[in-house]
Structure formats: C-alpha cells, structure tokens
Structure 1
Amino acid sequence: MSSPHVISLGCRLNLAESETIRTLLSDRDTIVINSCAVTNEAVKQTRQAIRRARRDRPGAELVVTGCAAQIDPQAFAAMPEVDRVIGNAEKLLYSAWKADAPVMVQDIMAVRETAPHLAASFSTHARAFVEVQNGCDHRCTFCAIPFGRGNSRSVPAGAVIDRVAALAESHAEVVLTGVDLTSYGPDLPGSPSLGQLVERILAHVPKLRRLRLSSLDGIEVDDRLFALLTGEPRLMPHVHLSLQAGDDMILKRMKRRHSRAESVALVARLRAARPDIAIGADLIAGFPTETGEMFQNTLALIEECRIVHAHIFPYSPRAGTPAAKMPQVEPEQVKARAARLRAEAARVRDNWLQSLVGSTQQVLVERPGDRGHAGNFAEVRLAPNEVGEIVSVKIVDVQDGKLIA
C-alpha cells in the first residue's frame, strides 16, 4: 500500500494543517489536496493539482479540502477525479477521515473554536508551524477567505505554549500562523494580545531559539508587539505586512483600516528601532477603479518602505465579494501592472541582498542541507550542513536572487 500524500497549496496555515492531516491519515492510500482560494488563479491551481494527482496515483483515494473546497464543495465533488470533499473545520478531525460521506462540509461561520493541531512532528520541514488563530472578522471587499475560514477565533495561550515547547525539542525555529494573526486574543478570557502571547512563549520556552511571525496587519501592531519585534533577539528581524495597496482611495475601497501614511510611518519606526529588519508585504495590482496615478502610489511604496519580500497578486474578482461588482480594470492592464510591481520589487530586493555581502548571517539549514534562510528570511546557499541546525556564515556573493556563503 502506498503512503498518504498531502499536497498543500497557499498559506503557511495550510502548511501547518497539512502536517496534522498527514498524521490523521496514518498509512491510508490517500492523496489530499489542501486547497487555496485567495485568488481565481489559486482555485485554478487547485484543479490542476487534482488532475495531476489522479494521473500520478490512479488507484488512490483522492480527497479535496481547504478553502476552495469549503467555499464551493459541490464544484469539487462534481470533478470525476475526486472521491471526497472535506471542509476546513472537519479536516482536522479524526472522525472525518474515518467516515465515507462524499461531502463533509459544515457552515464555517458557526465554528467558534480552534486548536493548536497536534501533528506529531514537522519531520519534513526545518521549521515548525503552530496555528494560534483562525478565521477573520474583517470583510475586505476583495477577499473570499472569511467564507472559507469563518470568524476569528484564538487558541488559548497555555495550549500554544505546550505545543511550541514540544516542537522546540526537535526544531530550532517555530512560526506562529493564523488567518489574521494580529487579531489574536479578544475571544479568550482576559482578551490577551498577540504581543502577550509572544512574551509568554519566549518566557516559558527558553529552549526555543528562533520565533517567527507570519503576516501581520500593521494597524494592529501595538506597543507591546512593536517592542518585541524591535528588541527581542529570538524574534526574527522579519515583518510581513498585509499592506495590499499604497493609495488611500484604493485602500478605502478595499475596506482596509490603515492609510498609506500609517504604513510608511510604521515601517520607518521599525527600521529606526531595528535597522536590520526586513520588510515583506502583500500588494494587489489592478484593484477595481485603480487609475494610473493610484497604481503609481502603490509602485512607489515598494521603494519607500524598502519591501524586500514582496508578494504581488494581480487582482481577480472573487464571486460574492463587493469588489467583484466594482468597475474592473482591463485584464491586460492588471497583468502589466503586476509585472511592473514585481520588477520594482526585484530591483529593491537585489539592492538589499547586495548590501548584505560581507555580513555574517545566522542561517537555519533546510533540505537537502546546502541552503537555508537567515533571520531576515533571505535565502542563503552554503556548504552542506546538518538540516535543522543554525549555522553562522559569512556572505560572499549574490547569485540568482540568493545569498552565497
């Protein structure tokens, strides 16, 4: 019998949950596609992954789960390659994998709890991922993810600390993940903040060498979290911000809660307090009603904030979202603007990488042992080392967008 295989698409939260699914499957001859629905392209890639997986393993059970499956379960159930569809809430329950119902998808908006899903290990990854939050209470006009993940809910700090402590025995770095990570806590007794959670993890898990945070909403970075991001050496100098745009009118139409000036000011404060910090950001090209001048404001934000880890998304209308009903930018224009954002991001990133030549970096070694990521999340090629170790290396060159040690 073939071993189970989980194909994880999309965010780090999906990656973390895929490890739990792999554990729940035990030795079943099953392929699981853990899908993404952040864009129409992501849904297309999910369908492609399903067809490819069926060709590769024609005799295996094929199950689709994740956000795309949660939002449109019947569409995936209708695919001839698919045996079962399991929802986002059900995919982390042993009972769902023991059942044989062709579609198991409940109303995600009715889910009120989440848990630090107890995957046995992240043996195939150099770093481990811990879900501390799920869902989102905000309704950005372009985003379908709340319909796939439900409302915001947090994992109690004690459970998170226990999970991190267990992982710290085998992993030098742990990443905290969530759909809207900075909204952690209001639904828990005492309304703890993300900053308080990070403080408790660092205090109670002294063995943990590196802690990293996934995407943050800058408007929710309070003084406690800011102090940790800029002053705690075990918290990596890498902040990925959910900016989405650099024009105030577009931000308003997106229903974002920050202004351009607030984003620029936050990044300036972060850099002033911790000069080695690396800034990442999500940016959308061609949002409905975006004029050339509005686009230029977003383009300029990359240099102004020195965004060195840019995730560029060409806007695609998601059914059921308010933005899908707004006046659309021509698809070719959207594609061209995304290409310009990527080119500018590549230029800023290359300048940053060149500035690191001659520096010494602490690198977490990843498979197969000749590469890894520094604390600032720059990718580094290095001499073969033990996977999972943290090694100190001097950077001597940059090649193909990677540091060479």
Structure 2
Amino acid sequence: MNAPRIISLGCRMNIAEAERMRAMLAGERDLVVVNSCAVTAEALRQTRQAIRRARRESPTARLVVTGCAAEIDRAEIGAMDEVDALVANAAKLDPRAWNVGGEAAPVAPSRTRAFVAVQNGCDHACTFCVIPQGRGASRSLTVAEVLQQIDSHLAVGAKEIVLTGVDLTSWGHDLAGSPQLGTLVHAILHELCELRRLRLSSMDGVEIDPLLFDLLAHEERVMPHLHLSLQHGADLMLKRMKRRHLRADAVNLVSRLKALRPDIAVGADLIAGFPTEDEAHHAENLSIIDELDIVHAHVFPYSPRPGTPAARMPQLPRAVVKARAAALRERAAARRAAWLESLVGETLPVLAEKGGTGYAPTYAPVALPHGTAPGTIIDVTPNAVREGLLA
C-alpha cells in the first residue's frame, strides 16, 4: 500500500478527527490507522474485528490503533498480535505522536459536508458512560479557531458544515467568559456569509441556550434537524443514568421548536434494557418515539462498561435487552417510514454526495438523478420511497 489508510469507527467526532489525521499523515507509507470506538461492548467488538480485518488486508503495513478503545481498553487492544502500536486519544492530532513534521494537523479537503469538532471531552458523569475515560475533561476550540477551520473547508468547496463534539452543548464552558453554543453558531453565521448550510450533531436538550434555540427555530441556514442525547423515555431510568433532564423537558423543547419550525426533524439516542428497567419503563421508552416524533433514532442495547456505576447495578438478561432494542428499532422504523412518505411530492433542496444520493435539510436521504455532481445542491421532488430513500 502507499497512502495511509484510516479506518474510523463510531461517532462523528471520530469522523472529523479521521479527516484531519488523513491529511496530517498524507506523506506516510504502509500505514494503517484504526480510529477506534469503545462506547459499548459491541463497539469494542467491532473495533477488534476491524483490527483483524485490517491486518489480513494489509499484512506488511504498520498497524496503529488510536481512539477511545486505545484508552479505555488499552491493555486488551495493545495485547492483540495484529497491533504494532497505540497512540493516545488525546494525542491523535499531534504530529509529534506520529513522528511527522508540522505543528498542527491540517484541515482535509471536503466537497460536500465537513465535520468540525469544536469541543472534546466531557465533565458529566452519566452512570453508563465510559467516554470521559477515553476523552478526558471538556475543552473547547475558540471562536477564532472554529472560524478558521470552517473557512478552510469552505475554500475547498464544502457546502455544509456539521458542528460536532463529545458534549457539544458544553462548548465554551472552559473559555474566558463562559460563552454558550449559541454565541458560536451566531458568530459562524455572521462571519461566514458564504456558508450555505450549518448542521448541529447530538445535543443535550437542557443545555440549549436561548440564542441557540432562536437560531434553531428561525435561521434558515441552520438545518431543521435536532438530534437529542435523550437516552430514555422514563424519568426513573433518566435519574439512574444521572442525566440532567426528565421526559417533560424533552417534550417541552420539541413542542416549542415545532410550533415555530414545523418541519424540524427530531433524532435521538435511546438505550434499551438499562439496569432495573421494567416493562413499564420500556413502554415509556417506546412511547417517547411517538410523542417526540423521532425519525432519526439511534438505538443502543445497554452493555455494562468497566468502571461505570451502571455496571454494578442489577443487570437484565441479555435476551431481554436485545428484544427491547429490537422493539425500539421497529417502532422507530415505522415512525421514520411514515415521515418519509409524508415528504413525497415536496420539493427539497438536496446536497448531493457520492453514490447518487444526498440529504435534504431535515437529513432525509434522497436518490438523485444520474450524473448529479457531488457537492451541488439541487431541488428534487420525490414521487416515492424506495428502500428507505426518497426517489
């Protein structure tokens, strides 16, 4: 092999960081980097699987693992025969950790959507989560640093910017004056008038500040797509997870936003089978999908992670956890199918990506006419839904 190969697993943070690593390591040869995930036991299994596959496909390359699994499960990953070295998660964007030149990782080109990680780490202590172990305390890029990164992406043709972070709505808490995320979003829109579309990744609803709420509700360049770090629909489970919101908080937020911007599409992370969850709690988890009209659901079967308080709570049988996750996915799929059908006949401005598909502002996936160039925004009026795509 010649150019380095970056295999990125898990969250959008890893996607954003992988693009920067790819640019930083562009001069390296015979190198494979697995940018790992360890948020769940399944994610760790997939990381190990990716490492073994990468070694089979590149038997002579130097194989390096970074990311959360390289921190949280360092001994286990480091002991794998396929792995040549580990790079600490906090050092993955530091050229010195890779013995390459330069003071900082460059921003990689993008033709369509560019992910910009404006925040890293987390100061919260959710009882199920190992991410603070893998990413450390919350820390933010300054407004100037964010503007510079976005400007670099726009200069090479990006039409949409996605702001991402481990705990995105905690952006600014560590900066002088403790600005809130709305301040950053307002600065981006004000300073970079050529930016066509700005999308926000997963957010903690109770930390959405008034300015950010106003921009989500009224600013056309902020995409009508709200993804909540919700986790559950039952208050007792939320309390045992040590979340900072209750069900009513999420319901109130979504109802207020939909009253002002009816087309906003709601997504959410949901955990199935959390310790002590009974049938009534599971029913509340199912019903929140309908109450919030969740059309972009990410369902995770609960799995105990080492060193977390939830791992010491009474666990449910794995069969029950898997069955409840399947029920959540089935309910979410039905809701999503109905939503996609409701968009048939509506003219949508779609950002074209590779492979003949693209995304509407609501993140609805759309099949595009043959030959549509990636990076262009075209109006499409779908007349059907085929295999999960508007067409």
TM-score range normalised by the length of the shorter chain:
over 0.9
Task: Work out the CA distance in 1 between the residues paired with 2:304 and 2:41.
Answer: 7
Structure 1 residue 186 displacement after superposition: 1.4
- Could you tell me which residue of structure 2 aligns to residue 270 of structure 1? 257
The within-5 A match list for 1:166-181 is: 166-169=152-155, 170-181=157-168
- Could you tell me which residue of structure 2 aligns to residue 388 of structure 1? 375
- Could you tell me which residue of structure 2 aligns to residue 114 of structure 1? none
The within-5 A match list for 1:222-241 is: 222-241=209-228
More displaced 10-residue stretch of structure 1: 394-403 or 133-142: 394-403
Task: Work out the CA distance in 2 between the residues paired with 1:148 and 1:98.
Answer: 22
Show CA shifts across 1:49-83 (max 9, x none). Answer: 00000000001000000001111222211111000
- 2:283 pairs, out of 286, 296, 299, with 296
Residue identity matched to 1:121: A
The within-5 A match list for 1:43-62 is: 43-62=44-63
- Could you tell me which residue of structure 2 aligns to residue 111 of structure 1? none
Task: Work out the CA distance in 1 between the residues paired with 2:306 and 2:107.
Answer: 37
Q: TM-score, normalised by structure 1?
A: 0.93
- 1:373 pairs, out of 359, 364, 367, with 359
1:19–1:119 CA contact under 8 A, matched in 2 = no
Task: Work out the CA distance in 1 between the residues paired with 2:334 and 2:188.
Answer: 37
Residue identity matched to 1:41: E
Structure 1 residue 120 displacement after superposition: 3.4
- Could you tell me which residue of structure 2 aligns to residue 104 of structure 1? none
Say whether 1:68 aligns with 2:55. no
Give the aligned length. 385
Show CA shifts across 1:133-191 (max 9, x none). Answer: 00000000000000000011110001111111221121000101100000011111121
The within-5 A match list for 1:6-405 is: 6-28=6-28, 29-98=30-99, 118-123=105-110, 126-169=112-155, 170-368=157-355, 370-383=356-369, 384-404=371-391
Task: Work out the CA distance in 1 between the residues paired with 2:313 and 2:389.
Answer: 40
2:95–2:105 CA contact under 8 A, matched in 1 = no
Task: Work out the CA distance in 2 between the residues paired with 1:122 and 1:333.
Answer: 45
Structure 1 residue 118 displacement after superposition: 4.5
More displaced 10-residue stretch of structure 1: 73-82 or 374-383: 73-82
Task: Work out the CA distance in 2 between the residues paired with 1:137 and 1:263.
Answer: 21
1:161–1:201 CA contact under 8 A, matched in 2 = yes
2:21–2:105 CA contact under 8 A, matched in 1 = no
Task: Work out the CA distance in 1 between the residues paired with 2:306 and 2:75.
Answer: 15
2:107–2:153 CA contact under 8 A, matched in 1 = no
Show CA shifts across 1:187-244 (max 9, x none). Answer: 1112111000000000000111000001000010121111000100000000100000
Residue identity matched to 1:69: A
* Secondary structure of the corresponding residue to residue 317 of structure 1: coil
1:118–1:163 CA contact under 8 A, matched in 2 = no
Task: Work out the CA distance in 2 between the residues paired with 1:163 and 1:266.
Answer: 31
Backbone CA RMSD of aligned residues: 1.1
Task: Work out the CA distance in 1 between the residues paired with 2:27 and 2:173.
Answer: 39
Runs of 4+ in 1 over 6 A off after TM superposition: none
2:276–2:316 CA contact under 8 A, matched in 1 = yes
2:93–2:105 CA contact under 8 A, matched in 1 = no
Q: Which runs of 5+ in 2 are unaligned?
A: none
2:181–2:209 CA contact under 8 A, matched in 1 = no
Percent of matched pairs sharing the same residue: 57
Structure 1 residue 303 displacement after superposition: 0.4
1:24–1:97 CA contact under 8 A, matched in 2 = no
2:384–2:390 CA contact under 8 A, matched in 1 = yes
Task: Work out the CA distance in 2 between the residues paired with 1:207 and 1:389.
Answer: 14
* Secondary structure of the corresponding residue to residue 132 of structure 1: strand
* Secondary structure of the corresponding residue to residue 89 of structure 2: coil
- Could you tell me which residue of structure 2 aligns to residue 102 of structure 1? none
Q: TM-score, normalised by structure 2?
A: 0.97
1:24–1:94 CA contact under 8 A, matched in 2 = yes
* Secondary structure of the corresponding residue to residue 166 of structure 2: coil
Task: Work out the CA distance in 1 between the residues paired with 2:337 and 2:73.
Answer: 40
